[in-house]
Structure 1
Amino acid sequence: MSLACASCPVRDRAACAVLAPEERAALAEAGHTRTLARGQTLFAAGDPVTSCATLVSGALKIASLDADGSEHILALVHPSGFVGEFFQPFAAYDVIALADSRLCVFAGPDMDSAIARYPALSRALLRRAQEDLHASRALLAIGSKTSARARVAAILIEFARAASDSPCHPARTFDLPLSRGDLASFLGLTIETVSRQITALEREGAIARTGKRGIELIDPALLSAAAQ
């Protein structure tokens, strides 16, 4: 499936946003759209990674398995995020769709050529890598919080920031990219504890639940206080 940049929902946030219209059109000629169903693998640990992709919609997790088969979620990829061979650690981890997802995919040599041709794209990908590193560190720091309340509140704040088009303000509404089970595993809590804490935050007026996974920030300051 060919790319449709004009209607892309992340065209102003993805790394390719730095390109001029004619440059973006030339890059689009080399790419294609791929869709993943929830649970489908984009890259599997140990397999050669010969392509890269921008996530257009949905969510991905980067995970590893330990010796006893337990999964550990190391990072999350949100829309406009970039994954692929330019970030070699992916070769050691699984990249799996957390929800039905759509991606712009490019063969490695085509992206190499684009980076050489468009220096602005190279700088944008470097900034993206730095942002991803910062986000991963923030997620890891959540696990060091002592209370279940603080962990759940902090992860909701991170999800709101990831869903926002603004670098300064979190999104007012967003969908949880993780199931309750994945969220519990990531935070080192039980599913019941995660559910209780979300219910408590809603009862206190910090958030409201909308639908199965939707979250609305009612009082961001109150949620931030709970995350301390």
Structure 2
Amino acid sequence: MPDVTIEAADGGSFSAYVSGTGSAGMVVIQEIFGVNDVMRGLTDYWASKGYTAICPDLFWRQEPGIQISDKTDEHWKKAFALYQGFSETKGTEDLIQTVKFLRGMRSLKKVGAIGYCLGGKLAYLMATRSDVDAAVGYYGVGIDKSLDEASAITKPLLLHIAGKDGFVPPEAQAQVKAALSKNPLVEIETYPDDDHAFARTGGQHYSEASATRANARTEAFFAEHLKG
């Protein structure tokens, strides 16, 4: 399916990659490298699991159509520059518009959200600010800075935390766990020996064992809360 166009709440529009025709929806939230081959592959993956999956371009306000990788220093510099200029508030608003668009495409029973890295933090914000039926965040960066929103979580949330995450220090991880552990809707899976992006196939810190464990738990989580 070709990319679709979604109207932003504050004017303008952005593109999104769509895959699948399942009866439940999945919003796939990008890393700092844009809607690249990795994210399109993940979107196709969730489509293969029976979801209508969609991955919106969240960097469109800075530069539409970003598709870079984690393979060169030049791309890393560009990715971090885009990340520094990114508005989490606007990005979350775009994700909420994406959920509305997805629900309007066909009669979907439920819609979930899954994000990685930058998207991991945004998946948390979708759990606090949107009406998604379930959310999963992989190694989200900066969740500790938004824990004042934790009381707004009313739907299931699963977080995968890398114990040796170079972007999320131990004290930040401890704050997240302490703030969220009392909410029965929140599950936290920790991977003590893994670094950031341990589930990114082909990445520097990829761990096949941990990625397999995390992905299996995620699949079961969404099957329970979106298809059950």
With normalisation by structure 2, the TM-score equals 0.26
Name which one, 1 or 2, has greater alpha-carbon Rg: 1
- TM normalised by structure 1 equals 0.26
